[in-house]
């Protein structure tokens, strides 16, 4: 069942690890008084156990999780004017699952270069960081192109406050266009 355009919108904040998805989403959700969901909370038990054992997830592991996020987006838009979901959505196929039959869903790609994100990850306190993990994230990333007009881009090479302000402006502009 397809959703019909309405005044309710869901925005998926996407990007590689360290791009600031959670921090930006928390601040944006607070300032806009919007609903917020960290997509990682919907991983099935099997995925959580697999990751806890140090094994990476494959596309087959991710599919039911992404379908759950698609369902969550549908549910969130029923009762919220604006909803924010955090999900890396690194591949176009992942974004396609998330957007399936939902015309009210858009993506905000928190885009940054490797050096900026690596420096931020290394600066995190109490966070174990391996450079190879970021290399893998960038290798997996399929940057959105012109064939994905529902992906809006925010440059993260600024302070958190500036990125939050830019993200809010991007959301407000997207809502006005509908």
**pLDDT 10s per residue in the chain (178 long)?**
454 556 799 999 999 989 999 999 999 999 999 999 999 999 999 998 988 887 888 999 999 999 999 999 999 999 999 999 999 999 999 999 999 999 999 999 999 999 999 988 888 766 666 778 889 899 999 999 999 999 999 999 999 999 999 999 999 999 988 7
Cα 64 from Cα 125, distance rounded (Å): 33
Q: Given this model, what pLDDT does residue 123 score?
A: 82
Domain-located, residue 71: yes
Domain-located, residue 41: yes
Cα 50 from Cα 22, distance rounded (Å): 22
CB 98 within 8 A of CB 83: no
Q: Given this model, what pLDDT does residue 26 score?
A: 97
Residue 74, both tokens: 């549908």
CB 163 within 8 A of CB 111: no
Q: Which residues contact 73 (CB under 8 A, 6 or more apart)?
A: 10, 12, 83, 85, 98, 102, 105
DSSP 58: -
Q: Given this model, what pLDDT does residue 128 score?
A: 62
Domain-located, residue 78: yes
Determine the structural domain holding residue 67 and report its residue range.
9-177
Domain-located, residue 2: no
Distance of CA 57 to the CA centre of its chain: 17
Pairing of strands 82-86, 35-38: parallel
Number of domain units in the chain: 1
Pairing of strands 151-155, 105-111: parallel
CB 58 within 8 A of CB 46: no
Domain-located, residue 1: no
Q: Residue 51 sits in a domain of what CATH number? A: 3.40.50.300
Radius of gyration of the chain (CA): 16
Pairing of strands 35-38, 151-155: unpaired
Cα-based distances in Å from 89 to 30, 45, 105 = 23, 20, 13
Q: Given this model, what pLDDT does residue 1 score?
A: 46
């Amino acid at each position: 069942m397809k959703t019909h355009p309405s005044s309710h919108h869901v925005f998926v904040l996407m990007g590689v690890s360290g791009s600031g998805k959670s921090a930006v989403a928390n601040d944006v959700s607070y300032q806009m008084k919007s609903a917020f969901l960290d997509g990682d909370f919907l991983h099935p038990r099997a995925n959580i156990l697999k990751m806890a054992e140090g094994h990476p997830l494959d596309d087959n592991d991710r599919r039911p999780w992404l379908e759950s996020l698609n369902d969550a987006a549908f549910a969130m838009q029923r009762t919220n004017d604006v909803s924010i979901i955090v999900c890396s959505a690194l591949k176009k196929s992942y974004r396609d699952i998330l957007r399936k039959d939902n015309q009210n869903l858009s993506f905000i790609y928190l885009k940054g270069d490797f050096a900026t994100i690596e420096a931020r990850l290394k600066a995190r306190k109490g966070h174990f960081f391996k450079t190879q993990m970021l290399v893998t994230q960038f290798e997996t990333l399929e940057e959105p192109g012109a064939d994905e007009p529902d992906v809006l881009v925010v440059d993260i090479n600024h302070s958190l406050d500036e990125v939050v302000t830019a993200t809010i402006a991007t959301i407000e502009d997207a809502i006005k266009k509908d």
